[in-house]
Structure 1
């Protein structure tokens, strides 16, 4: 499952490189944020971190989208972009179809983990925000939030930028 979402994430990254309009870029980044938060949820077995990560990404994208949409003109899709999209979708579908599937021992181990009772799963799901195994991710999230706060404050405080107040 993580492999499929990782493949979809790489597909969205390649699509982002080929996109030219701000609206498409915003949709791709929000979709990428959804995929990253879902991958984080499936790997850590906890929902708090993926929810915080999704909220941070989406709120930052809202600010960036307002700023970029006020600067950029409205462009339309070209027919060449649809051709590139269909070719890339076909290539990634073929790659996904021919990747080997894990054997039955993998599925039986996964099923036995899923069949555990809630009492057995309670210690596994009781992650703490400042635990040593998520310390790097928490530190990165703090630095990311601080950087986003500084950038938004600098962009919105300018009187000559796109987000200037109109009552001057």
Structure 2
């Protein structure tokens, strides 16, 4: 059952899928239609999942489920993963590459960098401990406001700064 994202409770579980490129307006609209159709029929063991989605910054697809009502099960999560893979194929994007991070550059544009380049970007001062990083590992809706966009020094990325700066 679809519920507008803003009406989903703060304790709702979520998954964030980061596109390797910015989506066009028409792609965002098409993906919204696909996700709306999927969510209207998304179930776990025959029970409707109260769920929603958002696409932020033309780059992040966020799925959200109120598990207080019905838990997302392995099979229902697998169906959402299959959907994301179909979206990848249709729109020629990558949504599952967890080895790339998104961050705001000095001009406030969202950039994507592979983890293997972090040391170089820190050395070049393109990423600092104050750079805002998107931490796509957050799992609850209330974390979107408090932890999803954080200074690099406050995220899991801090271990890379320790290695680079030592």
Q: What TM bracket, shorter-length normalisation?
A: under 0.3
Radius of gyration: which is bigger? 1
TM-score (norm 1): 0.24
**Comparing both structures, which one devotes a greater share of its residues to helix?**
1
TM-score (norm 2): 0.24
**Comparing both structures, which one devotes a greater share of its residues to strand?**
2
